[in-house]
Structure 1
């Protein structure tokens, strides 16, 4: 478990309530979580347990109703909307199940977009994007548009786009949900490789036990609370103890 002294991300008593008319639903219930730089963390739980809400609140995409979220020591919800958006653009990357690629852009144009938005010169943005596509195994596909690529290739473009700005943390919401099992395994292998070689911090939401088992740390949620937090080492130790 991570201590706050070496933390990249600290969630302290985070509370989120969704309201519709007279109905209120408690989605996150005074939740605490600490993530160190370089961790690969999977978040699992049944439908409605708060997994995606957790991702959205800890990344600052959604407002919270209580508590605080610190990224690199900065409280996201003490920032103005403009500063939070700027901080998110420079410090975070996102990988979604639906890819969210711009259909009229080529792969390299999709990847370089976040760099251009934060003022990176065009030549440097293109060079870094080409290199990132090579890094994810798409050197030959940089001029192709999303409609000309498979689902797995599109998700690799999404991963490249999330990583190209060298963010402090990458958030991934069901990144393999639209892929078959073989392609899902390839994407997870890629994320593990980037985590190991680049020490890229990744927090991913998944319903797939195989994806969760492949992460260095597995967090389980139920009813807006954390109900389990295990590392790969602790899981291996427990498995060994249970063998006949």
Structure 2
């Protein structure tokens, strides 16, 4: 391992300091994040919980660079997101981050494989390699037999697995998951959570996950709680693996 690689491994994957986010509508200002600090190490699975309006989704959007911030600093994988141009930040996000949303956000006219390979094609991966990696990732999430199916031919749980495969196919440094079980029944939600925990445990995938579900929060190894745009608790939890 080179000196640069050693230095990269020794620092946190995510380091956010003094992050502030204000939404403005005319003369009205709403402070969504208040001088927030958060560090996430490589390989962590971190849950974010809090009441509606506490800033959970805003936190994910700001830490991933989807939203701008009004003050503070966010480094992901050693790079300061808001020192980059918009184009640089978009490219960094495509290469270093994966996203799993409650609404799936799959392209309806694309097959499962086509949806999963899209991030690779957008970053210049040759089509044949992109398809092979997409099919391998779908196999990894238990959908090797559904690669040619379109989203409307899949159950909600299967669609979310396609979304997870798409988030992981570029081997991102971090996956941001915003209410990934919110549109699923309890059985499918359990399967999706088991998959995310397995990917974290067996492959060391770093995941930051927003949820409103206390049952999901209790099973995560680290749980951050928010209120009124601030972190009010940060707890390491002991729980059975499974």
Question: Which of 164, 169, 181 is residue 164 of structure 1 equivalent to?
Answer: 169
Cα separation, 2, equivalents of 1:58 and 1:150: 31
Match in the other structure for 1:129:
134
* 210, 215, 221: which one aligns with 1:216: 221
- CA drift of 1:214 comes to 1.6
* Long gaps (5+) in structure 2: 1-8
**1:32 counterpart residue number:** 37
Aligned to 1:8: 13
The 4+ residue runs of structure 1 with deviation greater than 2 A are none
Q: Which residue of 1 aligns with 2:5?
A: none
Q: Which residue of 1 aligns with 2:122?
A: 117
Aligned pairs (5 A) from 1:23-172: 23-172=28-177
| 1:242 aligned residue | none
| CA distance in 2 between partners of 1:112 and 1:216 (Å) | 31
> Deviation digits for residues 6-39 of structure 1, max 9, x if unmatched?
3000000000000011110010000000000000
Which position in structure 1 is the counterpart of 2:182? 177
Indicate the SS of the match to 2:13.
strand
Cα distance in 1 for partners of 2:202, 2:111 equals 27
Where do 5+ consecutive residues of structure 1 fail to align?
A: 237-244
Task: Say whether 1:198 aligns with 2:203.
Answer: yes
Q: Could you say what secondary structure the match of 1:89 adopts?
A: helix
Which residue does 2:4 correspond to in 1?
A: none
How far apart are 1:231 and its partner, in Å?
1.0
Equivalents in 2 of 1:138, 1:54: separation in Å? 31
Distance, in Å, in 2 between the alignment partners of 1:213 and 1:125 is 37
Shift of 1:182: 1.0
**Per-residue deviation at 1:130?**
0.4
Q: Which residue of 2 aligns with 1:189?
A: 194
**Could you tell me the TM-score, scaled by structure 2's length?**
0.94
| Superposition RMSD in Å | 1.2
Deviation at 1:5, TM superposition (A): 5.4
State TM-score, norm by structure 1. Answer: 0.93
